[in-house]
């Protein structure tokens, strides 16, 4: 079983307007309300690929009920901890370029946090837990480490998609996969990275620190997959970028879901890149038919290790 963990979900409220008049009345051309949060995005892509998964995390209030209902409508299994505070709303304002206004998120009590840790006690050997996104301040900076400790105790693998100290602290526990983009990788090591060769060098530093596989997204330049023995480069399909939300989450969902379903690392890489691209070219997260269409446009080359 695959479990996705979203500590700070949201309703993503997407609003499109032709122009913005500050201080005046503005009317929408269209709007869209979607269940949001990085782990939830991963669950939605896994669902498209037919990979069984359960979405867990924290949900509260009318906003939390909306998210849970939408996921259930899509037949995604959920097991969220219900909290007293309301789940946040994030506004994605589209007016030529996209402006994001993200909610602060709820305060989570110690008792609520402990209930989420307890849910992972049902893990079994061979399960995969995908930890995605930032940690709400009320949980403390070490909360991912608490969840990882349960994964290790139960013999489950984990994937972590976050940045900064939370990512670096997780490496010693040997995550199955980490997925920084090229900017995040440079920030992790406090350097400027200008070439693909330099990306490989710093990607290998993540391997040396404990990661089992490193997936680096490079926007229009494609993506790299680095393992202990191999380095692969994938090209990205051609298309018009319409959506900046969820492409990285889609890549993780496509990669992990395909790997679990067929065990082929290169096909997992190909599907991950196609999933991320399909989301970038869509108004919402990608659907299976579009992912399959773009898979054939992803070329993979093995580089010199």
**Active-site residue numbers?**
249
Measured between alpha carbons, how far is 237 from 253 in angstroms, rounded to an integer? 18
Q: Are 43 and 253 in contact (CB under 8 A)?
A: yes
From residue 54, give the alpha-carbon distance in Å to each of 42, 256, 290: 10, 14, 23
CB atoms within 10 A of CB 26: 13
Buried/exposed code over 194-227 (b: 16+ C-beta within 10 A; e: otherwise): eebeebbebbbebbeeebebbbbbbeeebbbbbb
Q: Are 37 and 63 in contact (CB under 8 A)?
A: no
Q: Which of 280, 210, 225, 215 is nearest to 252 (CA)?
A: 215
Which residues touch 276 (CB under 8 Å, ≥6 apart)? 217, 223, 236, 247, 248, 250, 251, 254
Assigned token pair, 57: 């995390």
Measured in degrees and rounded to the nearest 5, phi and psi for residue 139 equal -90, -20
């Amino acid at each position: 079983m695959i479990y996705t963990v979203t500590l700070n979900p949201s309703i993503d409220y997407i609003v499109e307007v032709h122009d913005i008049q500050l201080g005046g009345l503005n009317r929408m051309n269209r709007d869209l309300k979607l269940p949001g949060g990085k782990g939830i995005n991963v669950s939605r892509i896994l669902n498209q690929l037919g990979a069984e998964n359960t979405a867990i995390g924290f949900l509260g209030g009318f906003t939390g009920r909306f998210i849970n209902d939408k996921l259930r409508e899509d037949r995604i299994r959920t097991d969220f901890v219900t909290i007293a505070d309301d789940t946040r709303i994030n506004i994605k304002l589209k007016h030529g370029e996209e402006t994001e206004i993200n909610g602060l998120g709820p305060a989570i009590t110690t008792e609520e946090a402990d209930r989420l840790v307890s849910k992972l006690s049902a893990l079994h050997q061979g399960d995969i837990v995908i930890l995605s996104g930032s940690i709400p301040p009320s949980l403390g900076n070490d909360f991912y480490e608490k969840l990882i400790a349960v994964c290790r105790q139960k013999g489950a693998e984990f994937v972590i998609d976050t940045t900064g100290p939370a990512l670096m602290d997780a490496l010693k526990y040997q995550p199955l996969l980490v997925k920084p983009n090229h900017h995040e990788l440079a920030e992790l090591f406090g350097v400027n990275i200008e070439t693909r060769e330099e990306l490989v060098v710093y990607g290998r530093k993540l391997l040396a620190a404990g990661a089992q596989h490193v997936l680096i997204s490079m926007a229009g330049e494609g993506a790299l997959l680095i393992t202990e023995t191999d380095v692969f480069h994938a090209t990205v399909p051609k298309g018009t970028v319409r959506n900046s939300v969820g492409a990285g989450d889609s890549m993780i969902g496509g990669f992990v879901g395909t790997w679990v379903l067929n065990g082929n690392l290169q096909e997992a890489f190909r599907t991950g890149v196609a999933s991320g691209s399909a989301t970038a070219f869509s108004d919402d997260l990608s659907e299976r038919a579009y992912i399959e269409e773009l898979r054939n446009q992803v070329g993979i080359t093995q580089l010199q290790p």
